[in-house]
Amino acid sequence: MEKLITDYFRSPIGTIQLQHSGKGICSLIFLEGEMPGSTNFPQFDECKSQLEEYFDGKRKEFSLQLDAMGTDFQKLIWNELLQIKSGQTMTYSELAKKTGDLKSIRAVGRANATNAVSIIIPCHRVIGSDGSLTGYAGGLWRKKWLLEHEQKIFQLSLF
């Protein structure tokens, strides 16, 4: 396995650790506590720029080279997550139906939970069938913030 390059981004909802595999962004996870010193690798310039635009309400979709590492099934689910537009949500059961097997709902939930490229692969847009916010590795308060942020952007872009 190649050595991962790591850098950090300060967002309105905490520090985000960015990792690049040499092929693309492979991890974007929230950290608790103070932001470590930034390493300023040029591989992260575009990612940081797009994250700034996202948090400023100027970007709904990302166009970055990703290197999401997972099984074929996980990648299938992550590709479906990329189809959920900003400001929208989908339930785990709807996601399972889209992949062709409603019985795979637990596997869909697990694949969603193992997504290491949060925000860019928008696992936060998946909710419980009753509309509840369920599980998010970055914390439910961040999931709520991200959904409200996106719904605000989506609403403003309609007019």
Residues 20 and 92 grouped into a single domain: no
Is 120 among the domain residues?
yes
Overall average pLDDT of the 11-39 stretch = 88
Own/partner contacts of 33-42, CB < 8 Å, gap of 24 or more, are: 35/8, 35/10, 36/8, 37/8, 38/7, 38/8, 39/5, 39/6, 39/7, 39/8, 40/7, 41/5, 41/7
Q: How many domains does the chain have?
A: 2
Is 22 among the domain residues?
yes
Which residue among 81, 105, 123, 126 is the active-site one? Answer: 123
Per-residue pLDDT of 94-148, as tens digits, reads: 999 998 887 888 999 999 999 999 999 999 999 998 888 888 888 899 999 999 9
Give residue 26's region: left, alpha or beta (phi > 0; psi -120 to 50): alpha
Rounded CA-CA distance 48/26 in Å is 14
Overall average pLDDT of the 69-95 stretch = 94
Enter the DSSP assignment of 151.
Answer: H
Residues 125 and 88 grouped into a single domain: yes
Structural tokens at position 107: 């596997």
- HSE-CB at 56 with a 13 A cutoff on CA atoms is 8
What was the pLDDT predicted at 103? 82
Where is pLDDT greater, at 157 or 17? Answer: 17
What was the pLDDT predicted at 158? 45
Is 66 among the domain residues?
no
Residues 47 and 78 grouped into a single domain: no
Is 60 among the domain residues?
no
Does position 156 have pLDDT exceeding 60, yes or no?
Answer: no
Residues 39 and 76 grouped into a single domain: no
Residues 125 and 81 grouped into a single domain: yes
Residues 45 and 93 grouped into a single domain: no
Is 118 among the domain residues?
yes
What was the pLDDT predicted at 47? 96
Does position 38 have pLDDT exceeding 80, yes or no?
Answer: no
Structural domain boundaries, residue 86: 72-157
Per-residue pLDDT of 19-31, as tens digits, reads: 999 999 999 999 9
What was the pLDDT predicted at 137? 84
> Considering the entire predicted model, what is its pTM?
0.89
- Check if 123 is active-site: yes
